[in-house]
Amino acid sequence: MKELDFILLYKINRKSKSIYEAKKKINLFWETLAETLQEDEQVNFRYLGKFLVKRNKPRRYSSPYSQQIGYTTGTCIVKFKVGESLRKNLNEVKNDE
């Protein structure tokens, strides 16, 4: 599903007046989620799952040409862990088809 398809589906389900308004609401959700993750590192949605911030350690590397050893910077990755209810509902829908 592409972004435009998702926005159109959101517009239809929420009965928004325009695509612009639907896109604005979706962007507001993602901005709020990003701000909250920066503060708390975890956001739980009841029955759906949770967004987590995983921190990766810096890694050591060496250049094959100069034989220098360096370190990468640690990175942060946002992950979504599916909740039990959502997993059951998705499996039921898949089995019904």
Burial of 10 (0-12, 13-18, 19+ CB in 10 A): middle
Q: Are 73 and 58 in contact (CB under 8 A)?
A: yes
pLDDT digits (tens, 9 = 90+) for 47-77: 899 999 999 999 998 988 888 898 989 898 9
Percent of the chain exceeding pLDDT 90 equals 36
3-state helix, strand, coil in the chain (%, to 5): 50, 25, 25
Percent of the chain exceeding pLDDT 70 equals 98
